Structure 1
Amino acid sequence: MTRPCEVDVLIPTCGRSAALAVTLASLFSQDHKAFRVVISDQSEPDSALDSGEVRALMRILQANGREVQCHRHLPRRGMAEQRAFLLSQAASPYCLFLDDDVVLENDMITRLLRLIRAQRCGFVGSALHGLSFVDDIRPHQQHIEFWESSVEPETVAPGSPEWERHHLHSAANLFHVQARLGLDGEAARAYRIAWIGGCVLFDTDKLRAAGGFDFWQELPSEHCGEDVLAQLRVMQRFGGCGMIPSGAYHLELPTTLPTREVDAPKVLPISDPQNA
């Protein structure tokens, strides 16, 4: 029997069956149980959903009361449209956009939920550690700005001083910062960000109120930065933050989006025209 869901975990995937299986295994290990998994697969010609590893993990999740919903969503119209489709499937108060190459510590959903409820903001993200860089220590990229009070709406735009915060999420910088500060999950703190990739928990209604990914029709199919633009628009209206310590790790696979000339936050307005 499936449990009532607090969170829809929304996973876009394309051509990464082994990585997807690893991501699903880390979802199975979560101590929070009330979530549903929604996968949108754009692999061609063969579906990632047909691999033995992925099918096994879906069965394991389902046998333990987690609903898994799968979609073959083709043709490909770009990542913004893929994310818009996933958001259209969300029915829970919160939705976790999770990339298909991420490993989560077992309390990640619990901690993300705790922080977003405490802050009542639009989203909380957990930046991905790239541990191939664990010996690459970059003090000049490790500045962190904590929210000392409640998270508030904030406008961040490409080229602004606030945009430089993104360096904190490069390589293993955040991993080094949290180790130096000695933070643990029970003492998680909110910090100011430019954006976060790979593991972001949204208040579903607030994401939709900020326009979600409806801007997909304004972009060519080959683009990047759609997740960044959606976050900037939510952050401007409702606020958003990062969570430290993070418990999300990147598998560091080659990108599935090699053509990156069109960067959504640099070609479309930060303010959603519908809400301007």
Structure 2
Amino acid sequence: MLDVLIPTKDRPGALAVTLTGLAAQSEEGFRVVVSDQSAAPAEEDPLVASAVRVLRHRGHPVEVLRHVPPRGMAEQRAFLLGRAEGRYALCLDDDVWLEPDAVRVLLDAAERLDCGFVGFAVQGLSYRDDVRPHELEPYEEWAGPVEPERVRRGTGEWRRHILHNAANPLHLAQRHARDGRAWRAYKVAWIGGCVLFHRKRLLDCGGFDFWTRVPPVHAGEDVVAQVRVMERYGGAGLLPSRAYHLELPTTVPDREVECYDRVIEDE
């Protein structure tokens, strides 16, 4: 039913933390696929190897695939999506730790909302005391069914991206999600790091096949995929977030080329 798709490059310690978070999930039976573009094979790292063994011991099939040379994040995600088989595909970055019920909650919301994707915005706890009320203003819940939306740069919908800065997801939950409900759905511009797609709907919108239209050094591939899916099927963020960013330096420091400019603007 679910494939967890993880791209990684030269961060074995972070990958091990991410994998152990998956191993502790209350949801059973999901499959994990890792696309490894590290200089040294990630699975040779003792921490990663141990985490893989624990996942397999707990009944989760795991594939750690060497996928070199690197041709950009969009191509790496397209490769991972091509390996997926389940109804849902969780695109999870290699520097995200999930609470033990995170996968179960994502699947429950996906089934109930029946849209293109749901996700947890990753939160950086080093910012937990950095409250930014002005960045929480665009918050808006889905009062009824999740509907398709056209989200483009320069619109009010696009401004929602500031909801996910720093520890804003934590502060949003403290303000809006204190009633004990397992989750509540809200409107997003996009979500980085932890997004559960309805796999066939993502494929209907082209998946990440636009990788051939961008140079190998690029950023924002997740934005393009989600904007396309939202326009046809809708998408939602979930509060409270159960995803935590490890706050390591990015592996994509050169952000001069944004996929949005080369793909969405051209369309």
TM range (shorter): over 0.9
Query: How many Å separate the matches in 2 of 1:123 and 1:154?
Result: 12
1:193 maps onto 2:198 in alignment: no
- Counterpart of 1:16 in structure 2 is 11
- Counterpart of 2:31 in structure 1 is 36
The letter of the residue matching 1:7 is: L
Q: Deviations over 1:185-229 (max 9, x none)?
A: 744111000000000000000000000000000000000000110
Query: How many Å separate the matches in 2 of 1:177 and 1:60?
Result: 34
Secondary structure at the aligned position of 1:164 is classed as: helix
- Counterpart of 1:82 in structure 2 is 76
Trace 1:230-245 onto structure 2 (pairs within 5 A): 230-245=225-240
Match of 1:162 among 153, 157, 177: 157
- Counterpart of 1:59 in structure 2 is 53
Q: Which moved more, 1:89-98 or 1:173-182?
A: 173-182
Runs of 4+ in 1 over 6 A off after TM superposition: none
- Conserved in 2, the CA contact under 8 Å of 1:10 and 1:96? yes
1:213 maps onto 2:208 in alignment: yes
The letter of the residue matching 2:58 is: N
Question: Percent same amino acid at aligned positions?
Answer: 53
Query: How many Å separate the matches in 1 of 2:85 and 2:182?
Result: 30
Q: Which moved more, 1:194-203 or 1:183-192?
A: 183-192
Any unmatched runs of 5+ in structure 2? none
- Conserved in 2, the CA contact under 8 Å of 1:13 and 1:42? yes
Alignment size in residue pairs: 266
- Conserved in 2, the CA contact under 8 Å of 1:229 and 1:270? no
Trace 1:77-226 onto structure 2 (pairs within 5 A): 77-143=71-137, 144-183=139-178, 186-226=181-221
Q: Deviations over 1:150-195 (max 9, x none)?
A: 0010000112121110111001111011112343674411100000
Query: How many Å separate the matches in 2 of 1:213 and 1:51?
Result: 29
- Conserved in 1, the CA contact under 8 Å of 2:89 and 2:197? yes
Q: Deviations over 1:62-86 (max 9, x none)?
A: 1121100111000111000000000
- Conserved in 1, the CA contact under 8 Å of 2:16 and 2:48? yes
Query: How many Å separate the matches in 2 of 1:35 and 1:216?
Result: 27
Any unmatched runs of 5+ in structure 1? 1-5
- Counterpart of 1:3 in structure 2 is none
- Conserved in 2, the CA contact under 8 Å of 1:158 and 1:266? no
Structure 1 pair 200/142, CA: closer, same or farther in 2 (3 Å)?
same
The letter of the residue matching 1:191 is: Y
RMSD (Å), alpha carbons: 1.2
Secondary structure at the aligned position of 1:124 is classed as: strand
Query: How many Å separate the matches in 2 of 1:236 and 1:21?
Result: 35
